[in-house]
Amino acid sequence: MAEDSSRLLIADDNKVNRLLLSRGVELLGHRFALAENGRIALEKLRSEPFDLLLLDIEMPELDGFAVLEQLKADLHLRDVPVIVTSSVEGLDNIVRCINLGAEDYLPKPVNAVLLKARIDASLEKKRMRDRQKAMVRRFATPEVADDLLQSDFALGGKRIHASVLFSDIRGFTALLESQGPEETIDLLNTYYMLMFDAIGSHGGVVSQIMGDGLMALFGAPLPLDDCAGSAVAAALEMVELIEQFNLERSAVKKAAIRIGIGVATGDVVAGYTGTQQRATYTCIGDTVNLASRLEAHTKVAGHGILIDDATRRALGSSVPMQALGEVLFKGKAAAVEIFAVAAAQPD
C-alpha cells in the first residue's frame, strides 16, 4: 500500500524517452520496468504485476492504440491504469486514447510536476479500486466479483431464472447463551468461511448475511447452466463441511452445531437495491420467500436440506431424495410439495 511500493511499466520505442521517463519515475520513488514496443509491454503485463503503465503511442510492432485495445479486452489487465505519454499529432488521436480507456494523456516532453500529479492520482484511484475489489471478493467468487465490477454496480433489477438458498444454524440462540461473545464470533467466522467456500465453489454468490443465517443465489448475477443442481450440490457440501467441523469441535469437547438449508428454484427479480452510496445485490420474489420458508421448516421436518418441486424436477434422479408431501406455508395461498435431500440431519 505504501506509495514507494508501486511498480510501473514504461513502454516507449525511443531510448532517450525511456531513460527520461524512468528517471522521472525513479525520482518519485517508484520502481519500474521497460518495454521497447507494445508487444513486449503486453508480454510483461501478462507475466508480472504492475500498478501503472506509461504508454507511448508511436511504436513499432504494436502501437499504443493496439495496446489499449488489448488491455480493454483483457479481464485481468483492464484495470491497470494507463497514462499515455506521447507527442502524437492531432486532437483526435488524444481523444482516441481516452476513449480506449487511457486514464490520462501527457504530451511530450513530459513535465516532471505534471507527471508526479498524474501518477499519484492514477495510483490512488487504482488503490481504491483494488480495495473495492477485495471487499466484493469477500462476498463473491472472483468471477462474480468481476462481473459486478464490470457492470459498475448499476442499480436496477432484471427477471432471471435462479435458485435461492437459505441456511442457518439450528439452536443458535441456546448456543449463544452457553458461551462467551468472543467464542461466538470465532464460531461464526469459521462457519461463514466454510459456507462461503461451499457456495463459491459451486458458482453461487452470498447476497446477505443475517446473524447466523445467510442467503445465496445461484444463476445470478452470472447465469449458471444448472442452477438447481449447483445449489443442491453446495447444500450437500455445506452439510458435509459442518460435519467435519463438528468432529474438530467434539475433539475439544464442544457441542456439535447443526444447520438447516432450504433451496427453491424459479423466476426472481435480481439486481442492486439501495442507493448509490450503499447498495446490495439481492433478489426478491416468491422463490426467495419459499426458500426461506423451507429453511425454517427443516426444524419441523427433521431434515437438513429441504427443496421445492421446481428444484427437484431440475435435479432429475441424480440426487437421492424423499418426498415429504404438501405443506401450507405462511403467506402462501396453496400448499406446496416439498422434498428432503440426502441424509436426515436430526435437530
Binding site for other proteins (CB under 8 A): 13-17, 19-20, 23-24, 27, 58-60, 87-89, 108-109, 112
Based on CB atoms, which residue is closest to other proteins, 12 or 146? Answer: 12
- Strand blocks (E) in 174-295: 205-210, 213-218, 258-274, 279-284
Based on CB atoms, which residue is closest to other proteins, 58 or 237? Answer: 58
> What does the block give as the cell for 215?
442467503
Based on CB atoms, which residue is closest to other proteins, 89 or 225? Answer: 89
Residue 114 vs residues 50, 81, 121, 170: alpha-carbon distances, Å:
21, 16, 11, 60
> What does the block give as the cell for 1?
500500500
Cis peptide preceding 221, ω within 30 of 0: yes
In angstroms and rounded to an integer, the radius of gyration of the C-alpha atoms of the chain is 26
Based on CB atoms, which residue is closest to other proteins, 13 or 308? Answer: 13
Based on CB atoms, which residue is closest to other proteins, 16 or 251? Answer: 16
Shortest CB 50 distance to other proteins, Å: 23
Task: Give the residue from 294, 278, 296 showing the smallest Cα distance to 326.
Answer: 294
Shortest CB 109 distance to other proteins, Å: 4
Q: Yes or no: say if 122 and 104 are a contact pair by the CB < 8 Å rule.
A: yes
Q: Yes or no: say if 284 and 299 are a contact pair by the CB < 8 Å rule.
A: no
Shortest CB 65 distance to other proteins, Å: 13
Q: Residue 111 has what DSSP assignment?
A: P
Residue type, position 22, single letter:
S
Shortest CB 60 distance to other proteins, Å: 7
Shortest CB 12 distance to other proteins, Å: 9
Based on CB atoms, which residue is closest to other proteins, 19 or 300? Answer: 19
Shortest CB 88 distance to other proteins, Å: 8
